[in-house]
Chain A
Amino acid sequence: QQPVQSPQAVILREGEDAVINCSSSKALYSVHWYRQKHGEAPVFLMILLKGGEQKGHDKISASFNEKKQQSSLYLTASQLSYSGTYFCGTRTGNQFYFGTGTSLTVIP
């Protein structure tokens, strides 16, 4: 039931773009995205809801394909501060499942 994320890791130079994907074997009603810096707690980035509604970070964009049960996070013109591990999360019943994470490293 844990969503699958890809890629597992990516290294970017400042200013480059990246896409992180999240897919689930279960029907999705919403997808959450969080970022975790090393040694810190995960921090909320975005929620995407069935029907197209979104809430969250104004500098990061994401998509949600309900039919394919997939979501993608788009990081454009990456900055050094974007480095960290990105997790998607999905709800099944009353439980919440996080993906295994995508490590993003932005280098100067």
Chain B
Amino acid sequence: EAQVTQNPRYLITVTGKKLTVTCSQNMNHEYMSWYRQDPGLGLRQIYYSMNVEVTDKGDVPEGYKVSRKEKRNFPLILESPSPNQTSLYFCASSLSFTGYYEQYFGPGTRLTVT
């Protein structure tokens, strides 16, 4: 089944404790992206990747890191999480980024930083 998977689905952590949220897609998609969703703000892009080894900042990259060593995986790293990173996170992928192809979203990761 074609899908985007994320783990963990729920995470409660403390300020400053490094964490990684994994994202994997099995559709051979080139473009992958991370979004955070906060009430009233919609979905905002954190980082995106056009292809392997090519990543770039989105609209709200502060406090996050990513890597794209393999086409299928695009982990999101919070080196020193803070309470303002409490949010719902979605990973998404699309075949390419021409604007013609839809994005497929993972199920989301709800992160709480205390």
Q: How many residues of B contact A (CB 8 A)?
A: 25
Q: Which residue of B lies closest to A91 (CB)?
A: B99
9 A–B contact pairs at CB < 8 A?
Answer: A41-B90, A41-B107, A43-B105, A44-B102, A44-B104, A47-B100, A91-B99, A94-B56, A97-B45
Q: Which residue of A lies closest to B99 (CB)?
A: A30
**Are A96 and B103 in touch, CB under 8 angstroms?**
yes
Residues of B within 8 A of A41 (CB): 90, 105-108
Q: Which of A29, A43, A97 is the most central at the interface, judged by chain B CB atoms within 10 Å of its CB?
A: A97
Q: Are A42 and B102 in contact (CB under 8 A)?
A: no
Count of A-B residue pairs with CB < 8 Å: 64
Question: Which residues does A use to contact B, with CB under 8 Å?
Answer: 1-2, 29-30, 32, 34, 40-44, 47, 49, 55-56, 87, 89, 91, 94-101
Tell me the complex Cα distance, A91–B104, Å. Answer: 16
Asked whether, in the complex, the Cβ of A47 is within 8 Å of the Cβ of B103, the reply is no
Partner among B33, B40, B107 whose Cβ is within 8 Å of the Cβ of A96: B33
Q: A87 and B106: CB pair below 8 A?
A: no
With beta carbons under 8 angstroms apart, the residue of B45, B90, B97, B103 that contacts A44 is: B103
Q: Does B70 contact A (CB under 8 A)?
A: no
By beta carbon, the residue of chain A nearest B110 is A39
Q: Which residues of A contact B40 (CB under 8 A)?
A: 100
What is the chain A residue whose CB lies nearest that of B49?
A94
CB of B59 within 8 A of chain A? yes
